[in-house]
A and B are shown apart, each in its own frame.
Chain A
Amino acid sequence: MWLNNSSIGRKLVMSVTGLALILFLTFHMAMNLVALFSVEGYNMVCEFLGANWYAVVATMGLAALFVIHIVYAFWLTLQNYKARGNDRYAVTDRPKSVEWSSQNMLVLGVIVLLGIGLHLVHFWSKMMLVELTNGKEFVINGNAISPTDGAALIRYTFSQWYNVVLYLIWIAAIWFHLNHGFWSAFQTIGWNNKVWQSRLQTISLWYTTILCLGFAAVVILFGAGIL
């Protein structure tokens, strides 16, 4: 299969899964923003995306996207490391037009992955997982939190200052990762030329900045106790 045994095919898999994940993040961010305006509205979204069959199927699809993206990332990086040869340069210099993030995508990706692990423990394990396994509800100060009461979980998680710091670091890593990944995905698909190069990089910058500001807003406003 050419998606596995050609360099461009493997890159295409990275590109398409990456774009799908960006799309997921966009929906995720939009739903988070609901929490800023209406706690009831946010909990309605939580209920809608609880252990209903469509939400479970979508979650499994999403997990598959993540796994494929990560497996291919390690595979490609390993091949690229080998292609570099045994001896390394003694002196290296990064030209101005080369983004720092573009040369550190795997490191950024690992930080993002660690953040996802933390995030699943904080939210998913106390929401969808509880519903799926009919497990114990999460208890804060003696009060059981309903698996669909996402707003209470947000408030609890970000009442701890270190979670605010960790999430902001995570969001920054996502920003760097997507800033390169977004335009790079289009380049790999082949939708790029001399004119679109700067356009795509500008769209990339704006899109990821708005996306990450949306995520950060929820963390900061709940963390500061304003909401």
Chain B
Amino acid sequence: MDKNISFTLKVWRQRGPKAKGEFKEYPMKDISGGTSFLEMLDILNEELVGKGEEPIVFDHDCREGICGMCSLYVNGHPHGPEGGVTTCQLFMRKFKDGETITVEPWRSAGFPVIRDLMVDRTAYDTIMQAGGYVSVNTGAPQDANATPISKEIADEAMDSASCIGCGACVAACKNGSAMLFVSAKVSQLAILPQGQVERVRRAKAMVAKMDELGFGNCTNTRACEAECPKNITISNIARLNREFISAKCKD
């Protein structure tokens, strides 16, 4: 059994996008180490509701690390101090008794705060709509063996495709750059035969949309890959740079 811990939770509270936010402290008592970070917030919210206060607003959905909805900047790290997990997979046993845990929303011009810890990440959807897809011809289905793909390529594409679009890369980046996300989304299609038709157009359109939405310029600090809950590497960014530069040179 995990030990129970008591700690102080310092949470960013902000009424709305335009409102001025501030930190509020909440003492937490006897929380089991087996409680997930989001369950711990649920417990706090139950208490707040019981006292007639406004509960803390935060994003969450699947709570098993695949949907990319949860966020939270915990003690200076997106998705908390543990590597390779999302906030919903973070457990209270990773924290010490008596600690002060600071919880902040993603902070980036591209992701404005909606309320408390919830930020607007529609910018990522807009980037995807700009070219993060493949066109499929309708009609009779193609023969399954018509486009063979090597194991290495399939693995590489799968690694890129594991990006859940949570926005931790932007949150971690001192430049507010979305390059890790965009590069993963471009890579997963650029190396597969199915993605070749729109390959050149995709790289240009997605980068243009990313720039337009106010994300910063990548300076290769590698903070994104260190904090990515899915361990996406910056080799994707190198590939996106290649794709983009060669696409522009062809023009």
Contacts and interface: CB of A to CB of B under 8 A. Distances in A.
Contact of A92 (B10, B76, B226, B242): B76
B108 to A, nearest CB: 5
A91 B76 contact: yes
A43 interface: no
Contacts of B75: 91, 93
Nearest to B76: A93
A88 B73 CA distance: 12
A8 B102 contact: no
A79 B216 contact: yes
Interface stretch (B30-38, B88-96, B141-149, B205-213): B205-213
Nearest to B233: A194
B222 A83 contact: no
Given A84-B109, A93-B77, A184 B219 contact: yes
Given A89-B73, A89-B76, A96-B226, A8 B244 contact: yes
B223 interface: yes
Contact of A98 (B10, B218, B221): B221
Contacts of A10: 217
B116 interface: no
B207 A7 contact: yes
Contacts of B217: 7, 10-11, 76, 79-80, 83
Contacts of B207: 6-8
B162 interface: no
A181 B242 CA distance: 18
Contacts of B208: 6
Which applies to chain B's interface (DSSP): helix, strand, loop or mixed? mixed
Nearest to B213: A83
B109 A82 contact: yes
Given A7-B207, A85-B107, A97-B226, A197 B76 contact: no
Contacts of B234: 187, 192, 197
A96 B248 CA distance: 35
Nearest to B223: A98
Contacts of B233: 194, 197
A11 B218 CA distance: 8
Interface string A163-182: 00000000000000000100
A102 B216 contact: no
A187 B174 contact: no
Interface in B63-84: 73, 75-77, 81
Interface of A: 2, 5-12, 76, 79-80, 82-99, 102-103, 105, 180, 183-184, 187-194, 197
Query: What 8 A-B pairs have minimum CB-CB distances, sorted nearest first?
Result: A190-B242, A93-B76, A83-B216, A83-B176, A95-B226, A80-B175, A192-B238, A190-B241
Given A94-B223, A191-B242, A192-B238, 12 more contacts: A7-B179, A7-B218, A8-B240, A11-B217, A12-B245, A83-B108, A83-B110, A83-B176, A83-B214, A85-B112, A93-B75, A188-B241
